[in-house]
């Protein structure tokens, strides 16, 4: 059996599979274990293993592996820092809609562009004014610190 496949596919208890094959037609790994290994495993409800006479078979799709890797990445500390920045970025359109009535802009191209630019300039001026005054609470960029 390939060393890479064994690294990628393991039972939740950490057991090494007996054999492993990949079906390209439906992006699915078919993994077999000894029957006794899966029958006595405390995680057999999570694996949904089919237990036969001599072996136990587990089917894992490629999508589930990708989702598992994504969940691991999302739980890391670096991703939490990116999430904070993303939340800060998404507040700008919300502020423009609520405070500057962005929905009520004129529909003409030139007038709309001018009014939209005015709203952005007003927002930037307000931020600058609060920053110079010293009454702002802007968080540091956690990725640069």
pLDDT digits (tens, 9 = 90+) for 8-47: 455 767 788 888 888 888 889 898 989 988 888 888 788 8
Q: Where among 50, 68, 86 does a domain terminate?
A: 68
Would residue 145 count as lying in a domain?
A: no
The answer to whether 35 touches 55, Cβ cutoff 8 Å, is yes
- The residue out of 46, 68, 90 marking a domain boundary is 68
- Shared-domain flag, residues 42 and 90: no
Six token digits for residue 76: 């890391």
End residue of a domain, out of 43, 68, 93: 68
pLDDT band at 55 (very low <50, low <70, confident <90, very high): very high
**According to the per-residue pLDDT averaged within each range, which of 60-74, 83-97, 116-130 is highest?**
60-74
In a domain, 139, yes or no: no
Element of type H or E holding 10: none
Task: Please indicate whether residue 113 or residue 7 has the higher confidence score (pLDDT).
Answer: 113
Residue 144 falls inside a structural domain: no
User: What are 70-103's pLDDT values in tens digits?
Assistant: 888 888 888 877 777 666 556 777 777 777 676 7
Can you give the residue range of the structural domain that contains 128?
A: 76-133
Residues 83 and 34 in one domain: no
19-23: strand order across its sheet: 19-23, 28-34, 55-61, 50-51
- C-alpha separations of 143 from 41, 87, 131 in Å: 42, 14, 21
Looking at the fold, whether 82 and 102 belong to one and the same domain comes out as yes
> Are residues 101 and 60 part of one domain?
no
Residue 49 has pLDDT above 60, yes or no: yes
Instruction: Tell me how far apart the alpha carbons of residues 17 and 47 are, in angstroms, rounded to a whole number.
Output: 13
Please state whether 85 falls in left (phi above 0), alpha (psi between -120 and 50) or beta.
alpha
Is the domain of 8 the same as that of 59?
A: yes
Residue 142 lies in a domain: no
Integer Cα distance of 80 and 52 in angstroms: 44
Is 18 within the bounds of a domain? yes
Q: Count of domains in the chain?
A: 2
If asked whether residues 86 and 60 sit together in one domain, one would say: no
Specify whether 96 is located in the same domain as 54: no
């Amino acid at each position: 059996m390939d060393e890479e496949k064994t690294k990628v596919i393991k039972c939740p208890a950490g057991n090494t599979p007996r054999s492993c094959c990949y079906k390209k037609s439906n992006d699915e790994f078919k993994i077999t274990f000894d029957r006794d290994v899966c029958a006595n495993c405390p995680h057999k409800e999570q694996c949904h293993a089919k237990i036969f006479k001599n072996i136990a078979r587990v089917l894992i799709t490629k999508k589930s592996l990708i989702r598992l890797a994504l969940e691991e990445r999302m739980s890391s500390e670096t991703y939490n820092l990116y999430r904070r920045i993303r939340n800060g970025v998404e507040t700008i359109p919300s502020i423009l809609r609520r405070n500057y009535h962005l929905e009520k802009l004129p529909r003409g191209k030139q007038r709309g562009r001018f009014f939209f630019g005015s709203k952005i300039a007003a927002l930037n001026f307000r931020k600058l004014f609060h920053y110079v005054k010293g009454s702002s609470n802007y968080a540091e960029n956690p990725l640069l610190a």
